[in-house]
């Protein structure tokens, strides 16, 4: 491989890693700025958030609110079970991507990447709990 080709490959790899890490960092910062993913974690959860939106926009009666809340709670439970079933697949894909990224990094970058992965995992555990 020629010198220019190696330089181009290194530059491209560095750019891709930078973009990937930038995306991850921005994604988690946006989540924190909104109070969690979707903007509802500090406001009583997804069901409460959607119920407020539906109540405000649709002018639900108290009886309708109660029934909608039951429907949303049932939906949330089903979605939670589905996510738990898919979680091992997400973990596998995440680990594969992390391995590929780590292989591109220099030793010092790998150490920083390990710290970043640890922070992301701690956030995931805090936000979603053990899955």
Segments forming the whole domain that contains residue 50:
3-128
pLDDT of residue 15: 74
Minimum mean pLDDT among 69-73, 83-87, 97-101: which range? 83-87
The pLDDT score that the predictor gives to residue 40 is: 45
Predicted TM-score (pTM) of the model is: 0.46
CB 103 within 8 A of CB 122: no
pLDDT value at position 44? 65
The answer to which of 13-27, 43-57, 117-131 has the lowest mean pLDDT is 13-27
Mean of the per-residue pLDDT values of the chain? 79
Q: How far apart are CA 11 and CA 37, in angstroms?
A: 33
Number of domains in the chain: 1
Paired tokens of 87 = 């979680």
């Amino acid at each position: 491989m020629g010198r220019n080709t190696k330089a181009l490959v290194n530059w491209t790899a560095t750019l891709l890693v930078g973009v990937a890490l930038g995306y991850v960092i921005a994604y988690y910062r946006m989540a924190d700025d909104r109070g969690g993913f979707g903007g509802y974690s500090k406001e009583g959860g997804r069901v409460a958030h959607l119920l407020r939106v539906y109540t405000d926009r649709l002018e639900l009666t108290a009886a309708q609110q109660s029934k909608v809340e039951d429907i949303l709670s049932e939906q949330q439970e089903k979605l939670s079970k589905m996510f738990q079933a898919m979680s091992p697949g997400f973990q596998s894909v995440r680990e594969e991507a992390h391995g590929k990224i780590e292989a591109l990094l220099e030793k010092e970058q790998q150490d920083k990447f390990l710290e970043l992965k640890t922070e992301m995992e701690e956030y995931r555990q805090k936000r979603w709990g053990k899955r």
